[in-house]
Amino acid sequence: MLHERRTGTGDQREDADGGAMSEWIYQSIESLCSLIVDCVNRTAPIVDYVTPFRMIRTANIKEGRIDLTDVNYVTEEVYQRWTRRAVPQFGDVVLTREAPLGEVGMILEPGVFLGQRLVMYRADPTKANPRFLLYSLMSDYGQQQIKALGGGSTVEHMRVPDTKKLLIFGPSISEQHEIARILGSLDDKIALNRRMNAALEATARALFQSWFVDFDPVRAKAEGRQPEGMDAETAALFPDSFEESALGWIPSGWEVMPLSEAIEINPTRRLAQGALAPYLAMENMPTQSARPINWVYREAGSGARFINGDVLLARITPCLENGKTAYVDFLEQGQTAWGSTEYIVFRSKTDLPIEYPYFLARSETLREYAIRSMSGTSGRQRVNASAFEHYNVTVPSIEIAAQFGIYAHDTFVKMKANDDASRTLAEMRDALLPKLISGQVRVGEISVDI
């Protein structure tokens, strides 16, 4: 049991046996930082190709991390101009001042800079642990201050001078290090799981591209070579020649058919209006990965219905261009979920593995076709499901499709296990964070086994 007593500017805590803990005091964030810098308040000119220099936008910062999977790129010259005030360094903490207000994350990679409506804090290493600052701003106390200082009749925002007024309640630097280590170990494991999933999915996508788009195994056999990266039994499933088709040269024995014949589009799913069911919002649709991480329960209204094994493709601009696509495998057995009216639902037909439509939906050729097929007024363009009746796909033999399905299924099972583990770790972190950041629980009382 912990007891508290107020001691001037801070709290002196004692345990049940009267053992003294380090004093916790309130200090301004400005006094704990060697640098606080605002962004350049104008839009940086971006380029449409990949460079080593990336702009962090408010949309990239969420739930304590900076996600760089969907960023804008700039030239080196622009990067140098936009970082004249300060070059972001590993461990710098970034806060969103507007749209949305109060999201925080930490710089973990080089070559990034602040987009608009962001402010950056660099902890003085003799006074504050950077991760302790991060978790303090994520805490209820930190968020309450941010919201209180934020103003605006239409959009919440913080003025730059107010970003220096935030108070941090904390112990000695040594105890900050321990708190940061405990919470950071959970976040590090979550980040590792994300990297593992990214690698798993990248490998599966590369395999789909190799087998069903580039036809690499067939080309190898046609040239008298052994296909790379597969055993002889799998290689034997592929033909060693090509034949002409409506799509050009395709592997001998494979078929060309409209997508609507190979894949169900918007299959009927029953979910009564008003029924409480899992709801996947468009904002939580992934842009780079297969699996949505966040969903909620909500009374069903109008919108797409889907079950495990369905694939969701955002059909409206800019979500389609941004790559919002998902494979559904997060539901309980027998559950039906719902989401935006702007989803198109794909479902594999009998002879194709259930994961196949996801990789097809992620393919560059299908996405480019969907974007070209969009119609409507500027800013509200969308592709109609009927457009896919005119999109032809190459369908492999049942045996090759089944072989890919085995690999894809194993990949998604591993990814789901990693995400489930990360969800548990995040719940542990969220439970520990307010107790450790407030001093309610001592670091010596915490044992984290991951």
User: pLDDT of 298-320, one tens digit each?
Assistant: 999 999 999 999 999 999 999 99
Structure token pair of residue 2: 């912990």
Percentage above 90 pLDDT, the chain: 83
Say whether pLDDT at 186 is over 70.
yes
> What's the confidence (pLDDT) of residue 31?
97
Say whether pLDDT at 2 is over 60.
no
> What's the confidence (pLDDT) of residue 14?
43
- Dist CA 276 CA 273 (whole Å): 9
CATH number, position 156: 3.90.220.20
Quote the number of domains for the chain: 2
pTM: 0.85
Examine residue 282 and state whether it is found in any structural domain, yes or no: yes
- For 164-178, the pLDDT digits (tens) are 999 999 999 999 999
Examine residue 92 and state whether it is found in any structural domain, yes or no: yes
> Of 395, 413, 443, at which residue does a domain stop?
395
Say whether pLDDT at 296 is over 70.
yes
> Of 345, 361, 395, at which residue does a domain stop?
395
Query: Any residues with CB less than 8 A from the CB of 5 and at least 6 apart, and which?
Result: 11, 12, 13, 14
> What's the confidence (pLDDT) of residue 123?
97
Examine residue 17 and state whether it is found in any structural domain, yes or no: no
Beta-carbon neighbour count of residue 288 at 10 Å? 15
Examine residue 361 and state whether it is found in any structural domain, yes or no: yes
Examine residue 4 and state whether it is found in any structural domain, yes or no: no
> What's the confidence (pLDDT) of residue 18?
40
- Dist CA 112 CA 94 (whole Å): 12
Say whether pLDDT at 75 is over 50.
yes
pLDDT (mean) for 180-195: 95
Name the average pLDDT for the chain: 91
pLDDT (mean) for 40-57: 93
> What's the confidence (pLDDT) of residue 7?
33
With bands split at pLDDT 50, 70 and 90, how would you rate the model's confidence at 450?
A: low
- Dist CA 58 CA 104 (whole Å): 9
- Dist CA 226 CA 125 (whole Å): 57
Residues 161 and 265 in one domain: no
Say whether pLDDT at 379 is over 90.
no
Residues 136 and 264 in one domain: no
Residues 362 and 259 in one domain: yes
> Of 395, 418, 441, at which residue does a domain stop?
395
> What's the confidence (pLDDT) of residue 70?
81
Q: Tell me, what amino acid is at 145?
A: Q
Structure token pair of residue 340: 């935006």
Say whether pLDDT at 6 is over 70.
no
Select from 2, 133, 113 the least CA-distant residue to 51: 113
Residues 150 and 260 in one domain: no
With bands split at pLDDT 50, 70 and 90, how would you rate the model's confidence at 449?
A: low
> What's the confidence (pLDDT) of residue 4?
33
- For 269-292, the pLDDT digits (tens) are 999 999 999 999 998 999 989 999
Give alpha helix (H) positions in 216-328: 216-222, 232-235, 259-262, 319-322
> What's the confidence (pLDDT) of residue 229?
87
Instruction: Quote the domain boundaries for residue 52.
Output: 26-170
- Dist CA 368 CA 69 (whole Å): 20
| Cβ atoms of 158 and 97 closer than 8 Å | yes
Residues 148 and 261 in one domain: no
Structure token pair of residue 397: 């033999």
- Dist CA 285 CA 297 (whole Å): 15
| Cβ atoms of 21 and 158 closer than 8 Å | no
Residues 30 and 165 in one domain: yes
Residues 268 and 380 in one domain: yes
> What's the confidence (pLDDT) of residue 333?
93
With bands split at pLDDT 50, 70 and 90, how would you rate the model's confidence at 80?
A: very high
Examine residue 367 and state whether it is found in any structural domain, yes or no: yes
Examine residue 48 and state whether it is found in any structural domain, yes or no: yes
CA within 13 Å, CB half, 88 = 29
- Dist CA 312 CA 374 (whole Å): 17
Residues 33 and 165 in one domain: yes
Measured at the CA of 262, the angle between CA 258 and CA 266, to 5 degrees, comes to: 95
- The H or E element containing residue 33 is strand 33-38
Residues 155 and 261 in one domain: no
Residues 263 and 161 in one domain: no
How far is Cα of residue 214 from the mean position of the Cα atoms in its chain?
Answer: 28
Examine residue 55 and state whether it is found in any structural domain, yes or no: yes
Lowest mean pLDDT among 7-16, 109-118, 128-137, 411-420: 7-16
Residues 41 and 152 in one domain: yes
- For 204-258, the pLDDT digits (tens) are 999 999 999 999 999 999 999 999 989 999 999 999 999 999 999 999 999 999 9
Say whether pLDDT at 5 is over 80.
no
